[in-house]
Amino acid sequence: MNVTTDTPLAADTTDAGLAASVAAAVDIDWNEAFCSEGANCFRFGLDDSGRAYIGSTLAPGEYVSDSVEALRALISAVKAGAADHLL
């Protein structure tokens, strides 16, 4: 699972790997946000290559991405109570 932010990292010319680690911008087709209790809004999206995304409307440039199958498994586990101890 990948956590991404659209905020670019400061480039360090001594570390060529750092510049390569900045994620390239992707065109994500976001669904309408799912909100509960007012400001707690999340959105789901897909890109042209079929990757799935979950993001918060409070931080639009930050999101989690993985395959559709992996995020489907995550959502199923949360619905089954695997994250109840966090509430």
Q: What is the pLDDT of residues 35-45, one digit of tens each?
A: 887 677 999 99
Please name the amino acid found at residue 40.
N
Whether the full predicted model's pTM is greater than 0.85, yes or no, is: no
Domain range for residue 35?
2-82
CA 27, 32, 37 angle in degrees (round to 5)? 130
The confidence score (pLDDT) of residue 22 equals: 41
At 60 the three-state DSSP class reads coil
Q: For the chain, what is the domain count? A: 1
Taking residue 8's Cβ as centre, other Cβ atoms within 10 Å add up to 10
DSSP-derived secondary structure for 12-55: -TT-HHHHHHSPPP--EEEPPPEEETTTEEEEEEEETT-EEEEE
Residue 87 forms part of a structural domain: no
Give the residue with greater pLDDT, 28 vs 11. 28
> Average model confidence (pLDDT) for the chain?
79
